[in-house]
C-alpha cells in the first residue's frame, strides 16, 4: 500500500514537471539561455528591409559624408571687387591737391566694393558656373578652392535671363563635378546645399526637394526651379545643390525672404538648364534662344496666353499677330502658361517655322511664325528681383 502511494506521488510530480518544462519552452524560450531560431525558408523569403535611420552593422553612425566628399572639392568661394567713384573726393579734383594725393586725382580715386558668392567647377580645364548676379559689375574676381588654392578668374560669358555665368581659372589638377540628369529628381529626395554663406567658409546644409519645375516666381526670365528647404543664405549663390549620391542636380540661386536670410524656401537652377547655358556660352560665346518679338501675358478667357504687345517689324508682327490675340497651341502642343510658351519658343532654333493656333475675339486663327534669335539686350523685360543670396 505504501509503495502504491509513493508511485502515485512520484508520477504526479513528474507530470507537473513535464508540463512546466513544456510551458517554459513554448512561452519563454529565452529563459533557457538561447532563443529558438525561426524556421528558415530559402525558397522565396523576402529581402531584409534596411532602416536607414538606424546605425549600420559596423556600428558607425548613419552619414551622408561620402556624398558630400564627392562634390565638396568642386565647390569654390568667389570674391569680387567692383570699383566705384569715392563720393568723398568728388570736389577734390584740382591741380593743387593732385600732388598732395600722391598723383591720384579725384577721377582716379575709387572705392573698392567687395562681395562674395560661390561657384562650381564643372571641367578639369577650369570652367566654372556661378550666378550672374554674383559677378555682375565686377572689376576683379578671385576664386578660392576648397583645398586652399586661389586664382583670378575671367568671365567667359553671362546669361542674365537665367542668372548664370561661366568663368574660367588657370589651375592644374582641378577637382570638378559634372552636372547630373535633372529628370531623375523627385519631391522628397534628400539634398544638400554647399556654398560660402556669409563668407564663413564652405558650409553644407541639408533638406529635401520641396517642389520641381517651380516657375513664375519673378526671379528670372526663364524659370524652372528646384525648390528646397535646405538652408540657403547670402553667399550660397552659385554653389551646388547635390543629392544623396553626391551628384550635382542644381545651382543654388535665390531665397524667398523679406529679411534676406533663409526661411526654408530656396531655389536652384536645375542641372539640365545650367548645362545648356554652359555649352552655349563655351561653344558660341552667348546663349542662343528663339524669339518672336511679342510680349505674352496670362489670358483671362478660356485658356492659352494673350499677346499684350507686338514689336513692329519682328517675327510676330510679320506673321500677322496683334495685341489681344490669344495663343492656345504651339505646333500642336497645348499652351497653358506664359512660361510654357516662352520656354518652348526659346528652345526653337532661329530660322525654324512654327505654327501657332488660337483666336482673335471669337474667330479661330492660325499663324506661321519664323523664329528669330533672341536679342541679348532685353534686360528691360526681366522681372524685378527679390532679395538674392
**Percent share of the chain, pLDDT over 70:** 72
The CATH architecture annotation of domain 182-284 reads: Beta Barrel (2.40)
* Mean pLDDT across 315-332: 94
Catalytically annotated residue among 162, 237, 257, 346: 237
pLDDT, position 262: 75
What does each C-alpha distance from 9 to 19, 20, 23, 60 come to in angstroms?
Answer: 16, 17, 21, 59
Catalytic status, residue 163: yes
- 69-169: which CATH topology? Thrombin, subunit H (2.40.10)
- pTM value surpassing 0.75: no
pLDDT, position 216: 73
Give the pLDDT band (50/70/90) at residue 336.
Answer: confident
What does each C-alpha distance from 183 to 77, 126, 238, 270 come to in angstroms?
Answer: 28, 26, 21, 9
CATH of 290-373, one of 3.40.50.11540, 3.30.1490.190, 2.30.42.10, 2.40.50.140: 2.30.42.10
pLDDT, position 247: 94
Residue ranges per structural domain of the chain: 69-169, 182-284, 290-373
Segment 5-32, tens digit of pLDDT: 545 554 555 555 555 555 544 555 554 4
* Mean pLDDT across 253-269: 82
Sign of CA dihedral 160, 247, 280, 154: positive
Catalytic status, residue 118: no
Domain 69-169 and domain 290-373, same fold? Reply is no
pLDDT, position 180: 87
CA atoms within 13 A on the CB side of 116: 15
Segment 189-244, tens digit of pLDDT: 999 999 999 888 899 999 999 999 887 777 888 888 999 999 999 999 999 999 99
Of 166, 185, 163, the C-alpha closest to 247 is 185
**How far apart (Å, rounded) are the C-alpha atoms in residues 302 and 321?**
19
pLDDT, position 387: 34
Contacts of range 358-363, beta carbons closer than 8 Å, 24 or more positions apart: 358/304, 358/325, 358/326, 358/327, 358/328, 358/329, 359/325, 359/326, 359/328, 360/322, 360/324, 360/325, 360/326, 361/324
Cell of 347: 528652345
pLDDT, position 72: 95
Catalytic status, residue 98: no
**How far apart (Å, rounded) are the C-alpha atoms in residues 159 and 14?**
92
Counting Cβ atoms within 10 Å, is residue 70 exposed (0-12), middle (13-18) or buried (19+)?
A: middle
Catalytically annotated residue among 159, 163, 229, 325: 163
Catalytically annotated residue among 132, 133, 159, 346: 133
Amino acid at each position: 500500500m505504501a509503495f502504491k502511494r509513493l508511485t502515485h506521488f512520484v508520477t504526479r510530480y513528474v507530470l507537473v514537471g513535464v508540463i512546466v518544462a513544456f510551458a517554459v519552452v513554448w512561452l519563454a524560450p529565452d529563459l533557457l539561455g538561447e532563443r529558438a531560431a525561426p524556421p528558415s525558408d530559402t525558397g522565396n523569403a523576402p529581402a531584409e528591409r534596411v532602416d536607414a535611420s538606424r546605425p549600420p552593422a559596423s556600428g558607425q553612425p548613419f552619414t551622408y559624408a561620402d556624398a558630400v566628399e564627392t562634390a565638396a572639392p568642386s565647390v569654390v568661394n568667389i570674391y569680387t571687387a567692383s570699383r566705384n567713384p569715392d563720393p568723398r573726393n568728388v570736389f577734390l579734383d584740382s591741380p593743387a591737391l593732385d600732388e598732395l594725393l600722391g598723383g591720384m586725382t579725384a577721377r582716379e580715386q575709387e572705392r573698392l566694393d567687395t562681395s562674395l558668392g560661390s561657384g562650381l567647377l564643372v571641367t578639369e580645364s577650369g570652367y566654372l558656373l556661378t550666378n550672374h548676379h554674383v559677378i555682375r559689375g565686377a572689376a576683379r574676381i578671385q576664386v578660392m578652392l576648397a583645398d586652399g588654392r586661389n586664382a583670378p578668374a575671367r568671365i567667359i560669358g553671362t546669361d542674365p535671363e537665367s542668372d548664370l555665368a561661366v568663368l574660367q581659372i588657370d589651375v592644374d589638377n582641378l577637382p570638378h563635378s559634372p552636372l547630373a540628369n535633372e529628370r531623375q529628381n523627385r519631391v522628397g529626395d534628400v539634398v544638400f546645399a554647399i556654398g560660402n554663406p556669409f563668407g564663413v567658409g564652405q558650409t553644407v546644409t541639408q533638406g529635401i526637394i520641396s517642389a520641381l519645375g517651380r516657375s513664375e516666381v519673378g526671379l528670372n526670365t526663364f524659370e524652372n526651379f528646384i525648390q528646397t528647404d535646405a538652408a540657403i543664405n547670402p553667399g550660397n549663390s552659385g554653389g551646388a545643390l547635390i543629392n544623396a549620391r553626391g551628384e550635382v542636380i542644381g545651382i543654388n540661386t535665390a531665397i524667398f525672404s523679406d529679411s534676406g536670410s533663409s526661411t526654408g524656401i530656396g531655389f536652384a537652377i536645375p542641372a539640365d538648364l545650367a548645362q545648356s547655358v554652359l555649352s552655349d556660352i563655351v561653344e558660341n560665346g552667348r546663349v542662343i534662344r528663339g524669339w518672336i518679338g511679342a510680349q505674352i501675358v496670362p489670358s483671362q478667357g478660356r485658356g492659352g496666353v494673350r499677346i499684350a504687345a507686338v514689336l513692329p517689324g519682328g517675327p510676330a508682327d510679320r506673321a500677322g499677330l496683334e495685341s489681344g490675340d490669344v495663343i492656345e497651341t504651339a505646333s500642336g502642343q497645348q499652351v497653358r502658361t506664359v512660361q510654357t510658351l516662352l520656354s518652348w519658343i526659346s528652345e526653337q532654333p532661329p530660322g525654324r517655322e512654327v505654327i501657332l493656333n488660337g483666336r482673335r475675339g471669337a474667330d479661330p486663327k492660325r499663324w506661321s511664325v519664323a523664329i528669330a534669335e533672341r536679342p541679348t539686350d532685353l534686360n528691360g523685360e526681366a522681372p524685378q528681383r527679390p532679395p538674392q543670396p
